[in-house]
Amino acid sequence: MNFRKFFGPSTLVTAAFIGPGTITLCSLTGATTSYSLLWVLVFSVICTIILQEMAARLGLVSQEGLGEAINKSSLGVIPKSLMIILSISGILVGNAAYEAGNIAGAILGLNLMVEGFNFWPIILGTIAAYVLNKGSYKWLERLLIFLVLVMSTSFLISAIITKPDLSKIFQGLIPSSFNFDQLLLIIGLVGTTVVPYNLFLHASTVKNKHKDVSKLKELRIENGIAIILGGIVSSCIVITAANVFDQSSEFNGIADFALQLEPLLGSAATYVMAIGFFAAGLSSAITAPLAAAYAAKGLFKWNGDFKDLRFKLVWIIILLIGVIVASTALKPILIIKFAQIANGLLLPVIAIFLLYILNDEKIMGVNRNSLLLNILGGIVVLVTFLLSFKTLSGVFS
């Protein structure tokens, strides 16, 4: 069997959401709540599979991205303009914050191996710029598949070596009550898994591999495999953190996490965590600017491809903002947490837009959403909206 056909555009989605934010939020979750919020990751993975299938199907059927579909939708002028403004502000501003977190996270991993080096942001920004400027989709896809496999192996080994309690893991997969402090972790976990900009990225990159609607089944399998793999990686991080931390102890960052693994991994602990963080940060540092550029291209109705100057300017600006912010004295963990919570709050808005477009017969034809997909998508929107509302009301009260 040719397994390569099950790795493609969906792997970019996994490479994007398994970033420093995922590692940070999952580490904090395991360190402070043990296995009790594993059910949130299950929910998040299901949401991601549902929404990314819609985005991928949109790209396959229309051979265009989500931004282009918004412009072609049957909405009136005012609703369409509002949708475009919200999408542009949310995706571009959100991606700038996300990019800063990606680069800051990759630096955390590198600093575990080489301390006191102040030029990591510039070096990482240069690497990401080189990859993006290459403009080769196949080359980018292969690089990110490799990085995803490196991340998966690193965290799977960590989870196994820490000898988790399987009965408690199964208990954590069952939804349970939670307090407001845990609510911030929950929306962060959702925001770091169901990433709004991935909906733009997925729809835009599908057409680079698939041209025929007959490939829809194959695309759905690829989507499920890639996202479930990402969910397993996230779960492994939670499990590892839960095993090596006492919930009453203070978790200050990834350096502490690596130190706690030393009794089990010896001197390799630092390198395992460093490689995982670096791979996560670099892969997401490449995909975030790319997604922002695709979103702008579609929303502003630009023609052209990777080499279009306007397309390049968008990813250059996002990348520069990330490098500049990551070079400041701001704590990387705070940057990362802010980006994830912002993503969680933006998600319901983008999901509503996606649902509307997937029911637009002019765009989707016979491949528009079924009743079941609309119900599942509606549940995702409702739950994420309630989480966002409860989080905002709790903050302002």
Q: Read off the pTM.
A: 0.81
With a cut of 70, say whether residue 5 has pLDDT above it. Answer: no
pLDDT digits over 270-325, tens only? 777 777 778 778 888 888 888 888 888 888 888 766 778 888 999 999 999 888 88
The pLDDT, as a whole number, for residue 237 is 85
With a cut of 60, say whether residue 397 has pLDDT above it. Answer: no
The pLDDT, as a whole number, for residue 57 is 92
The pLDDT, as a whole number, for residue 331 is 62
The pLDDT, as a whole number, for residue 136 is 63
With a cut of 70, say whether residue 248 has pLDDT above it. Answer: no
The pLDDT, as a whole number, for residue 393 is 61
Structure-model confidence comparison of residues 355 and 153, the more confident one: 355
With a cut of 90, say whether residue 335 has pLDDT above it. Answer: no
With a cut of 60, say whether residue 3 has pLDDT above it. Answer: no
pLDDT digits over 140-179, tens only? 667 767 776 776 777 788 788 777 888 889 998 988 877 7
Banded pLDDT at 66 (limits 50, 70, 90):
confident
With a cut of 70, say whether residue 326 has pLDDT above it. Answer: yes
The pLDDT, as a whole number, for residue 1 is 47
Q: What percent of the chain has pLDDT over 90?
A: 9
pLDDT digits over 255-279, tens only? 666 665 665 667 777 777 777 778 7
Average pLDDT on 44-59 reads 91
With a cut of 90, say whether residue 53 has pLDDT above it. Answer: yes
pLDDT digits over 169-213, tens only? 999 898 887 776 787 788 778 877 887 778 888 888 887 777 788
Average pLDDT on 215-228 reads 87
Structure tokens at 60: 């396959």
Banded pLDDT at 54 (limits 50, 70, 90):
very high
Structure-model confidence comparison of residues 386 and 368, the more confident one: 368
Which of 11-15, 199-203, 243-247, 346-350 is predicted with the least confidence, judged by mean pLDDT? 243-247
Average pLDDT on 119-146 reads 79
Average pLDDT on 365-384 reads 89
Banded pLDDT at 38 (limits 50, 70, 90):
very high
The pLDDT, as a whole number, for residue 111 is 80
Average pLDDT on 10-14 reads 79
Rounded distance between C-alpha atoms, residue 394 and residue 371, angstroms:
34
Give the CATH number of domain 3-396.
1.20.1740.10
- Where exactly are the structural domains of the chain? 3-396
Which of 31-45, 46-60, 68-82 is predicted with the least confidence, judged by mean pLDDT? 68-82
